[in-house]
Structure 1
Amino acid sequence: MTRLSAQERESVIGTRIRTYKWYVALLLAAGGGIVPAFGQTLGSIEGTVSDAQGLAVPGATVTLAGEALIAPQVAVTLVDGSYRFRALGRGAYDVTFELPGFQTLVREGVIVEGSRVIRIDAVLELAAVAETVTVTGAAPVVDIRTTALVNDFGTAELQEVPSATDVWAVLGQTAGVRMRGFDVGGSHKSQQTGYESFGIRDQNRILADGIDTTEGDGGTGFYFDYYSIEEFTTTAAGADVEMTAPGSLVMMTMKSGGNEFSGMYHGDYEHESFVGENTGADLEARGYTGNPNLLFFETHADLGGPIVRDRAWFYAFYNHFRIDKAVSGIDRAVATDLGDFDNFGGKVTVQLTGSDRLIGYTQWGLKEKPKRGLSTDVGPDSVLAQASWSWAHKAEWQRVWSNQTFMTAAFKHFGFSWPMVPQVDPGSQPPRLDTASGRLSGAGWFPGDNGAPPFTFVRWKPQATATLNHYEPDFGGSHDLKFGYEFQIDSSRVGANANSGPVRYLDDSANGRPFNVDRIMLFSVPAEGEIASDDRNRHHAAFIQDTWRPTDRLSLNLGVRYEQQRTYFLDAASEPFLADFFPTGTTEGRTNVVWNTWAPRLGVTFALAPSTVLKGHYGRYYVNLADSHGAANPASVAWIRYAFLDPIANGVYDGPAELGATLDEQGATGLALATAGP
């Protein structure tokens, strides 16, 4: 988690966005697919079984086996000869087709990658004696059913392509995504990098094994262990009804273990001597001394395998990386920008019955930056240290109800806790800003004349999702129906804390007064803890989509998504330390807005040839309000700015008698506060 509080970001006005995407795709080795399990990169294998005369063969047994499966899956062809296997992880599969009186046909090495739907049709020949025909060959890689522009990266691409080993390094390789910064040798690994998806900034959705870990309206709430990711998929345009906002849908599927024990240890190391120098005399003359990586190393270890073979698997991982960077203008012997990151977690998959599967996933992350914000204006004593925890958990149930119906339901939670902590005691070294030079001293504070106090930021995001897929084989063509429901509370608890005290000094080194005193600011922070401010966005969403195939070459994706967003804030008690200047009391919670939206989605695909598909998409998307209405919550920090008289010339505040004229103020001030209502 790296973003600053919602109070420090520009509010997002809740407006609807229509996206019209029409494009022609010549797909030779790429294509997207329908995601059968909510928010995860899982593919499908489907097809039809016919006889030598081309007639559909119902009742044939189709068996799917592969290392990505705990146990083989079995389906029976329907009246139109069709079959399907959903929620398949990345890997190679063998498909066996059997029916008494016919030759057994085995199709080996069918590769499932990303969220594609792989079509494997089979023709069964009559057999005079029992015999098996085995076919080995490449499966089709073009999915003619979806209009999404999907970029997929598997383990090989993630680990063999040199990169900074983080989410943003993969996004930088994604078609349709433009990065707003570029990592060189891990230079950006300790901070998020912004990006745009076909010109849309933010409004992304970040899913880790189906858990919504989006921070705010588009940030990434985690520094994920890159090597624990099995598959990374980005839909930059054309997303279906599971996507609410117009940005990128980023999905990471985590590793799951297997029927054989396996593990990995990985290490990276980079020393300052590995880093080139391209600063010139003109930059050096302006005081630029460079900010190279002084040290970077990363270690990862994992282990996966069977708990009970063919029944239960486990996977566990741990990752640590450290990055130490020089800061231009700061003597390295004095301070550097050091970051330590730890990630650990695991996943358990249990096949309860032939139809029921349970999945549990958990991940924890710790980010420590003791000198966050270090610069020539913010010295090592005036930074605000970061030691923030992030977490993500999931319990999921998948069930195959029949050859036609598949369901998944999950309860999930994502959150983080980020208190900002000064490096020195504000009692002996209060926060000061020299307005003549712009330099901070004393306990940590945000820069600028109107800089905010340190904050404590807690994100709390419980979620529940359910999807049902049902296939109808013969109703004016085939119909693959998807129904879904989502519930989420996005709680953003951001409040100025008391860690640097309630008083800030705005000095002026050019005025010649003792201790350079000039002005003083009083803030409404409490004596301990932080201002209680809990802004929430409650989501209810339901969607339906029909992938209708009137012919083998034509597919229509017809869907609609309904969503309600209710932004509101909870009751908040005000207990400022400087109660003579700021009111005490309770602010009652209220609803800001209830927003009901309907978002149609329409996609068309037409197969011009086996490897050439024409695709078109129309979609309406609405912004995720997230915490953009936080400014409507009166439970925020208030301040009053005075001329500072300092009659005893000691440079510190000793009481109201030292205050001169009131210069300006912001927020709720005064001696009493009636309970505030809507």
Structure 2
Amino acid sequence: MSSRGRSPWRLLWVALAAACVIAPAMAATGGLKVVVFEVLEDGTQERLPGATVTLSEPNGQFQARTVITDVNGEALFPVVPVSSSYELVVSMPGYASTRLTQVRVLADQVRPIPVALAPEMNVEVTVTGRRQVVELSEGATSSTAISEEAFADLPIFGREYQNALSLAAGVQDTDGDGNPNVHGSREQDFQMVAGGVSNVDPLTGERLSSINPDAIEEIEIIDAGADASFGGAIGGFGRINYKSGGNEFEGSFTLYFRDSTFDNDAAGGRDPLDYQVFRPALYFSGPLVKDKMWFVTSHELIRVDQPIDLIGGADFVQEVRGLTNFDQVTWQVTGKDKLQL
């Protein structure tokens, strides 16, 4: 009797256990079809076979799967539990990887997921290092070069090239007369060469003449370690290289103007001095024979009234009148030889 009474209960427990096992297998599922492509420059799409597509679920309820796209650029995940928190990662050599989050799987549907891959941008940086070779025959020369463009942009007063010399290390012009001293040497010990010709007065040791800055290509100041090509001074050396022209015509007109009306405020209780600076300049260059001969012409009119303040005496205005002229013809005789007149 007892054994017969327990048999229906046993059958019930067996049925419940079977239902618990079968129920998860009958949970709602869906699918995903990932289509991988590249957008070309003309706007059309090109499928990408061989791309790697990985599907995962951050909560761990789904074991990650990886599928390679077929010849049609498609990766199929036919049976996937319904969820809205899947993550897709698509990658392919030569393309930037793409990550999609919160991918949703719908019940009883294979949902298409289009994924566009962009070509990977590669930036290559090459760093080359080399040891600096010290030429013992040249010595330890210390120099500063000021190019034509740098000279035009320098915040210096006036149009005299001497105003730029003090920008070099160790060069000073405390009285502003255009005759600098280098590392404490005398003003007369500075040697300046312009176009291969000395611009130093042999009597006073100071600068000889003004130079139109429009005709200057480069200024070089050597404050230490000058080689044997320099001589005639025990201080520093300077070298001015003139422009030689080129195969293109170029020219400029500049006007430097200053008047006491703009900056004379009678400081110190003295009567103001009337003065004026007027310096128009014209520069023109170009070819005479292309690739063979070029010309440069540069002229500047100088009309300067320089106010002089005297301590214990009457102030006065010093007048400077002049004209700077530079005319040069360059002939390329051979590939290595050049003649300038």
Please tell me the TM-score bracket, short chain as reference. Answer: 0.5 to 0.7
- Residues 264, 199 of structure 1: alpha-carbon distance in 2 compared, 3 angstrom cutoff: same
Matches within 5 A, 1:427-446: none
The separation in 2 between residues aligned to 1:205 and 1:321, in whole angstroms, is 24
Q: Does the CA contact (< 8 Å) of 1:256 and 1:347 recur in 2?
A: yes
The separation in 2 between residues aligned to 1:143 and 1:174, in whole angstroms, is 24
> Are 1:320 and 2:308 an aligned pair?
no
| Aligned with residue 237 of structure 2, among 218, 241, 249 | 249
The separation in 2 between residues aligned to 1:346 and 1:137, in whole angstroms, is 46
Task: Provide Cα deviations, 1:545-584, integer angstroms capped at 9, x if missing partner.
Answer: xxxxxxxxxxxxxxxxxxxxxxxxxxxxxxxxxxxxxxxx
Q: Does the CA contact (< 8 Å) of 1:180 and 1:193 recur in 2?
A: no
The separation in 2 between residues aligned to 1:231 and 1:275, in whole angstroms, is 32
Give the corresponding residue for 1:298. Answer: 279
Greater strand fraction, Structure 1 or Structure 2: 1
- Residues 307, 170 of structure 1: alpha-carbon distance in 2 compared, 3 angstrom cutoff: same
- Residues 157, 137 of structure 1: alpha-carbon distance in 2 compared, 3 angstrom cutoff: farther
Q: Does the CA contact (< 8 Å) of 1:307 and 1:313 recur in 2?
A: yes
What is the CA distance between 1:295 and its match in structure 2? 1.1
3-state secondary structure, aligned to 1:215? coil
Give the corresponding residue for 2:267. Answer: 279
Q: Does the CA contact (< 8 Å) of 1:290 and 1:327 recur in 2?
A: no
Q: Does the CA contact (< 8 Å) of 1:299 and 1:321 recur in 2?
A: yes
Give the corresponding residue for 1:359. Answer: 340
Structure 1 ranges of 4+ moved more than 6 A: none
> Are 1:211 and 2:197 an aligned pair?
yes
Give the corresponding residue for 1:176. Answer: 170
The separation in 1 between residues aligned to 2:213 and 2:235, in whole angstroms, is 22
What is the CA distance between 1:322 and its match in structure 2? 1.5
Q: Does the CA contact (< 8 Å) of 2:259 and 2:276 recur in 1?
A: yes
Matches within 5 A, 1:191-230: 192-201=177-186, 202-216=188-202, 218-230=205-217
The separation in 2 between residues aligned to 1:297 and 1:137, in whole angstroms, is 52
Q: Which amino acid aligns with 1:195?
A: P
- Residues 246, 336 of structure 1: alpha-carbon distance in 2 compared, 3 angstrom cutoff: closer
Aligned-residue identity in percent = 24
What is the CA distance between 1:289 and its match in structure 2? 4.2
5+ residue gaps, structure 2, are: 1-125
What is the CA distance between 1:290 and its match in structure 2? 5.8
What is the CA distance between 1:178 and its match in structure 2? 1.4
The separation in 2 between residues aligned to 1:253 and 1:317, in whole angstroms, is 14
Give the corresponding residue for 1:155. Answer: 148
5+ residue gaps, structure 1, are: 1-135, 183-191, 361-678
The separation in 1 between residues aligned to 2:143 and 2:266, in whole angstroms, is 37
Q: Which amino acid aligns with 1:246?
A: I
Task: Provide Cα deviations, 1:211-255, integer angstroms capped at 9, x if missing partner.
Answer: 122213631111111221111111011111122322111111111
Q: Does the CA contact (< 8 Å) of 2:224 and 2:236 recur in 1?
A: yes
Q: Which amino acid aligns with 1:214?
A: V
3-state secondary structure, aligned to 1:320? strand
**What is the total number of aligned residue pairs between the two structures?**
205
Q: Which amino acid aligns with 2:159?
A: T
Q: Does the CA contact (< 8 Å) of 2:178 and 2:207 recur in 1?
A: no
The separation in 1 between residues aligned to 2:163 and 2:257, in whole angstroms, is 17
The separation in 2 between residues aligned to 1:243 and 1:263, in whole angstroms, is 33
- Residues 326, 209 of structure 1: alpha-carbon distance in 2 compared, 3 angstrom cutoff: closer
| Aligned with residue 308 of structure 1, among 279, 286, 289 | 289
Q: Does the CA contact (< 8 Å) of 2:181 and 2:189 recur in 1?
A: no
- Residues 143, 196 of structure 1: alpha-carbon distance in 2 compared, 3 angstrom cutoff: farther
Larger radius of gyration: 2
- Residues 299, 137 of structure 1: alpha-carbon distance in 2 compared, 3 angstrom cutoff: farther
Give the corresponding residue for 2:122. Answer: none
- Residues 268, 144 of structure 1: alpha-carbon distance in 2 compared, 3 angstrom cutoff: farther
What is the CA distance between 1:313 and its match in structure 2? 0.7
3-state secondary structure, aligned to 2:163? helix
Give the corresponding residue for 1:265. Answer: 253
- Residues 240, 213 of structure 1: alpha-carbon distance in 2 compared, 3 angstrom cutoff: same
3-state secondary structure, aligned to 1:172? helix
> Are 1:166 and 2:166 an aligned pair?
no
Give the corresponding residue for 1:189. Answer: none
The separation in 2 between residues aligned to 1:290 and 1:173, in whole angstroms, is 32
Q: Which amino acid aligns with 1:255?
A: K
> Are 1:341 and 2:328 an aligned pair?
no
**Pairwise CA RMSD:** 3.0
The separation in 1 between residues aligned to 2:167 and 2:224, in whole angstroms, is 15
Task: Provide Cα deviations, 1:573-620, integer angstroms capped at 9, x if missing partner.
Answer: xxxxxxxxxxxxxxxxxxxxxxxxxxxxxxxxxxxxxxxxxxxxxxxx
What is the CA distance between 1:176 and its match in structure 2? 0.6
The separation in 2 between residues aligned to 1:143 and 1:319, in whole angstroms, is 44
Task: Provide Cα deviations, 1:16-75, integer angstroms capped at 9, x if missing partner.
Answer: xxxxxxxxxxxxxxxxxxxxxxxxxxxxxxxxxxxxxxxxxxxxxxxxxxxxxxxxxxxx
Give the corresponding residue for 1:405. Answer: none
- Residues 278, 153 of structure 1: alpha-carbon distance in 2 compared, 3 angstrom cutoff: farther
The separation in 2 between residues aligned to 1:220 and 1:233, in whole angstroms, is 16
3-state secondary structure, aligned to 1:175? coil
What is the CA distance between 1:278 and its match in structure 2? 7.2
Task: Provide Cα deviations, 1:278-336, integer angstroms capped at 9, x if missing partner.
Answer: 733xxx4xxx5466x721121111111111001111111111122113455658xxx74
Q: Which amino acid aligns with 2:197?
A: I
Name the structure, 1 or 2, with higher relative contact order (CA <8 Å, separation 6+): 1
- Residues 208, 294 of structure 1: alpha-carbon distance in 2 compared, 3 angstrom cutoff: same
Task: Provide Cα deviations, 1:153-205, integer angstroms capped at 9, x if missing partner.
Answer: 111111121322213201122211111313xxxxxxxxx43321001112221
